[in-house]
A and B are shown apart, each in its own frame.
Chain A
């Protein structure tokens, strides 16, 4: 948390609010100030305990030789978990540590691959869903309700439901595709190295497209209707209106949705852990870290992986806050 806090300049608006500060204060406003901090204290204390301190400890563990059975006896070892050169003498040696671990880079590759593909598909599909939901037709309320269902289903349940549908022997997906003649023999979707990642992506797209669609729909509904009327009067083709008018107007909404989803996708854990357990083709950074922390008894090494993932996400968050230029000062009183 400390990194994020120190790295971000407050937005211009927030600064304005603060600069309004030093005007003559009455007893009343002093009383309000005091109660402001009183009101904030419990929330801040909980956040410091549940987020700030554990984050500091995770980073600390990544610089030690801690093991699951001996957390108290952890000793500082510097950056050895990240980067270490072991000299064998005679000019020979080898690099060790997270940054030289092919399994870690495999997890990085999987995570990035998964994030880019799934977010891209979700954006396109979400846009289609949003355009449909934005049109007026009979039964729109029903469709909107139906679209929300995948979002409401717990990730673990989605993973299990799809694991069953994708079952190689008894799954309905193979049955469907074979009936349609798309595949000739059953596919072991979640187990086969060629399809495991696509299985994960399919389930994620199914579960998260509604969320994407809702965020884009909110953007679509802010486009004033007279824009479309003007285009209609000018006789402009609807496809051209979409590319030249609608899309540029909802670009900010799409951008925000994409970044939120990307941040979520980069920390993926549940879906991969349950749908494709112990599969090198799908292992994400979070799964890699969790395994090292609690299954391989490499607590310090897992902490180092957690720390690196945190840095990546913190960096993207800063980027997001910068481009979104959030209205943090607000109107207030």
Chain B
């Protein structure tokens, strides 16, 4: 095959991959900018530029509250799991103790848990603790997937740091807690940003727990709110509004992912944890 043909073929494949990846989201943006009956004409290029759907979703109803709920839950979940994971990862990566391998194995096993397996038990617990229909139930429940993941990735990261950085502090008689806070934490910002971001995305996107533990419209998080957006009647699905809401909750994620692209890729592959 001549070189030019091969090259054209390769670039055609590249274009195909890019189109396949971005077209659906492009089309969602395009739909969200349509209004009225324009919605029901198929267009491949933007023809309309109406912000009515955005105005509708942000001013009517509880969607802004839903966004706030999602932000609160995701931020608190990330903060708690990073705090618990940093000290745990230090113990798991830098201190030799009996049962360490088994412990790591258990943590890995928990990260593979199907959420449905704990749903019944968690539901009982949530009701018993009186946090049904509150954001506390979600903050607590989300630990099941963010905590094992953050511990696992931070342990991998800390294990690869050279021993010398700790030696001086040990000789100076620093306590383990001081070592974690003063020696390791400053070195760990890249890993913390990556794991924090991945945990944030996981918490932001979660659906099953959010659907089960909250039944009040104004306490819901964004994914459930979007899934339940409906029109005046069964037949009247408000596609324009749904697309506007979808674009609003997705744009921040895409921006974050594009900014931290490299970090996310290394975090995903180093941790080898689910997407």
Q: Which residues of A contact B (CB under 8 A)?
A: 1, 4-5, 8, 10-11, 13-15, 17-18, 20-21, 28, 31-33, 35-37, 39-40, 42-44, 46-47, 49-51, 53-58, 60-61, 71, 128-129, 132, 135, 137, 139, 142-162, 164-165, 167, 169-172, 175, 206, 208, 210-211, 214-215, 217-218, 256, 260, 263-264, 266-267, 269-270, 273-274, 285-286, 289-290, 293-294, 299, 302-303, 306-307, 309-310, 313-314, 317, 321, 326, 328-333
Contact = CB atoms under 8 A, between A and B. Distances in A.
Contacts of B135: none
23 contacts: A1-B109, A5-B106, A15-B101, A21-B98, A39-B87, A40-B87, A42-B84, A44-B88, A137-B14, A143-B18, A153-B253, A154-B205, A156-B205, A157-B223, A160-B226, A214-B269, A289-B119, A293-B119, A293-B123, A299-B120, A306-B116, A313-B113, A332-B94
A47 B114 contact: no
Contact of A148 (B14, B91, B223, B258): B258
A315 B24 CA distance: 36
B116 A274 contact: no
Contacts of B87: 39-40, 42-43
A260 B222 CA distance: 27
B97 A214 contact: no
B97 A37 contact: yes
The interface residues of chain A, by DSSP majority, are classed as helix
Contacts of B176: 31-32, 35-36, 39
B117 A310 contact: yes
Interface stretch (B51-59, B60-68, B142-150, B188-196): B142-150
A5, A169, A208 — most chain B CB neighbours (10 Å): A5
Interface of B: 10-11, 13-14, 17-18, 20-22, 24-25, 27-28, 31, 39-42, 44, 84-85, 87-88, 90-110, 112-125, 127, 140-141, 143-144, 147-148, 151, 155, 159-160, 163, 166, 170, 175-177, 180, 201, 204-205, 207-208, 212, 222-224, 226-227, 239, 242-243, 246, 249-250, 253-254, 256-258, 261, 264-265, 268-269, 272-275
A156 B273 CA distance: 20
A287 B134 CA distance: 24
Given A1-B109, A317-B109, A306 B88 contact: no
Contacts of A156: 205, 207, 223-224, 226-227
Contacts of B170: 28
A164 B239 contact: yes
Contact of B274 (A43, A260, A326, A331): A260
A220 to B, nearest CB: 11
Contacts of A162: 24
A263 B144 CA distance: 16
B118 A14 contact: no
Contact of A154 (B94, B101, B223): B223
A313 B140 CA distance: 23
Contacts of B159: 330-332
B101 A58 contact: no
B162 to A, nearest CB: 10
B88 A154 contact: no
A150 B84 contact: no
A164 B242 contact: yes
Contact of A269 (B25, B124, B208): B208
A12 to B, nearest CB: 9
Given A132-B14, A333-B96, A58 B109 contact: no
Contacts of A169: 40
A260 B112 CA distance: 9
A154 B250 contact: yes
B231 to A, nearest CB: 14
Contact of B121 (A39, A61, A164, A290): A61
Contacts of B20: 206
A5 B109 contact: yes
B241 to A, nearest CB: 11
B253 A154 contact: yes
B116 A47 contact: no
A324 B178 CA distance: 36
A328 B101 contact: yes
Contacts of B144: 47, 50-51
A281 B182 CA distance: 56
A135 B10 contact: yes
B100 A161 contact: no
